[in-house]
Amino acid sequence: MESARERLLAAAARRFYANGITATGVDTLIADAKVAKMSLYNNFSSKDDLVTAYLHRRHNEWLELFNRRLAGAHTPRGRVLAVFDAYLDHAELAYEVGFRGCGLLNGAAELPVGHPGREAVRGHKAEVQQLVTELVAATGVGDPELVGEHIYLLVEGAMVSAGLDGSPDRLHRARNLAGALLPSP
């Protein structure tokens, strides 16, 4: 059986993504997780602590999807495009209320500047940008910093647009645009 902490994180993942962080109360999370209220405070110092743990967990989920895609990519170009594929994998998960875009960005939009959860999202996005730039450099492109930033902005912009559209179509289009910026295999 899952621990109370894992059940709370799973409930947070469902409810925060479906309804938003602000709209999801502690009582809803406790009921969803089927734990006592004290279990929440035995595992997290506050709702903010749970929010931050949820955002770190979401980052780790994306990294797992990315690493799986990266393992299957056999060319430098394919490794860059694996970033898009990992976001597409996330977009195609069965969400209760449908695809709403990047759960990390959705969460950050609700949090005040300086909130630890917002800093967790900033860290995730910085890591993605660094990964993209490193992968682009391995393709032999002339200016990997510039092309890496273009591709990073393509993936992030596509993720925002896809979330607004409720469809991963923009991610597919951005993947194709990114591919056109890279040398052929």
Q: DSSP characters for 106-169?
A: HHHHHSPTT-HHHHHHHHHHHHHHHHHHHHHHTTT-S-HHHHHHHHHHHHHHHHHHHHHHTSTH
What the chain holds in terms of domains, given with CATH numbers, is 47-181 (1.10.357.10)
pLDDT band at 35, cuts 50/70/90?
Answer: very high
Average the pLDDT over 33-41 and give the result.
95
Please tell me the distance from the alpha carbon of residue 98 to that of residue 106, in angstroms, as a whole number: 14
Per-residue confidence (pLDDT) for residue 157, from 0 to 100? 96
- Between 126 and 92, name the one with better pLDDT: 126
pLDDT band at 54, cuts 50/70/90?
Answer: very high
Per-residue confidence (pLDDT) for residue 121, from 0 to 100? 96
pLDDT band at 41, cuts 50/70/90?
Answer: very high
What is the separation of C-alpha 121 from the centre of its chain, rounded to a whole number of angstroms? 8
Per-residue confidence (pLDDT) for residue 1, from 0 to 100? 77
pLDDT by residue (tens digit) across 96-153?
888 899 999 999 999 999 999 999 999 999 999 999 999 999 999 999 999 999 999 9
pLDDT band at 10, cuts 50/70/90?
Answer: very high
Per-residue confidence (pLDDT) for residue 92, from 0 to 100? 86
pLDDT by residue (tens digit) across 158-184?
999 999 998 999 999 999 999 999 998
Instruction: Check: CB of residue 7 under 8 Å from CB of residue 85.
Output: no
**All residues at 6 or more sequence positions from 102 whose CB lies less than 8 Å from its CB, including other chains:** 87, 90, 159, 160, 163
Average the pLDDT over 65-72 and give the result.
97
Please tell me the distance from the alpha carbon of residue 34 to that of residue 175, in angstroms, as a whole number: 41
Please tell me the distance from the alpha carbon of residue 42 to that of residue 127, in angstroms, as a whole number: 31
Average the pLDDT over 15-20 and give the result.
96
SS3 2: coil
Per-residue confidence (pLDDT) for residue 8, from 0 to 100? 98
